[in-house]
Amino acid sequence: MIKFGTYLFEDKNTHLEHLEDEIINNGLKGAKTAVRFLNSLKDMLNGVGKGSTNVTVKWDGAPAVFAGTNPENGKFFVATKSLFNKTPKINYTNADIASNHGSGGLSDKLKVALKHLPKLGMKGIFQGDIMFTKEDLVEEEVDGV
């Protein structure tokens, strides 16, 4: 059997770590790096920076979704990390999603992905986080507005 890892390649690693991951990943050295960055950011925000500070925003969503065309059969699919299970859970239809993931939030989000992602005409297999779906949206009043 052919594995998806054979076809899934990352052209450019754009994975961003959270600042606190520096400490977990690199111990004391990482903690010092994090503190230097925070001091540099403070200086930049106060208008007294000594150089440039690169600031990025990391938006995390859930679930992480894999989507694209299965190279084995040419069909569009969506999947979670379960794509890499010994017995992969690959979803081509809403029925597949219900069978593989049951009902509820994850299943609903995968169905939205299956409905809309094929419209993008993606070539290859991609991974990304779902930020929200319509059902996640709520209206809130903030300071009377």
**How do residues 2-16 score in pLDDT, each as one tens digit?**
555 555 555 544 566
Q: Tell me, what's the pLDDT at 40?
A: 86
Q: Tell me, what's the pLDDT at 120?
A: 95
In a domain, 24, yes or no: yes
User: Do 31 and 68 belong to one domain?
Assistant: no
Which regions of the chain does DSSP assign to beta strands (E)? 64-69, 76-79, 125-129
In a domain, 75, yes or no: yes
User: Do 122 and 82 belong to one domain?
Assistant: yes
User: Do 79 and 28 belong to one domain?
Assistant: no
Residue ranges of the chain with pLDDT lower than 70?
Answer: 1-16
Domain region containing 75: 59-133
Please give the distance of CA 69 from its chain centroid, rounded to a whole number: 19
User: Do 65 and 31 belong to one domain?
Assistant: no
In a domain, 89, yes or no: yes
Q: What are 64's strand-pairing partners? A: 129
User: Do 64 and 118 belong to one domain?
Assistant: yes
User: Do 54 and 66 belong to one domain?
Assistant: no
- Reading phi first (left if > 0) and then psi (alpha if -120 to 50, else beta), residue 115 is in alpha
User: Do 72 and 122 belong to one domain?
Assistant: yes
Domain count along the chain: 2
User: Do 119 and 79 belong to one domain?
Assistant: yes
User: Do 53 and 64 belong to one domain?
Assistant: no
In a domain, 139, yes or no: no
Exposed/middle/buried for residue 110 (C-beta within 10 Å: 0-12, 13-18, 19+): buried
For tokens 């990390």, the residue is 81
Distance, in Å, from the CA atom of 25 to the CA atom of 44, rounded to the nearest integer, reads 26
Q: Tell me, what's the pLDDT at 55?
A: 75
Q: Tell me, what's the pLDDT at 15?
A: 60
| Closest alpha carbon to 67 in 80, 56, 58, 52 | 80
Query: Please, what is the end-to-end C-alpha distance for the chain in angstroms?
Result: 57
pTM: 0.67
Q: What are 73's strand-pairing partners? A: none
In a domain, 8, yes or no: no
DSSP 3: -
- 3-state DSSP call for residue 68? strand
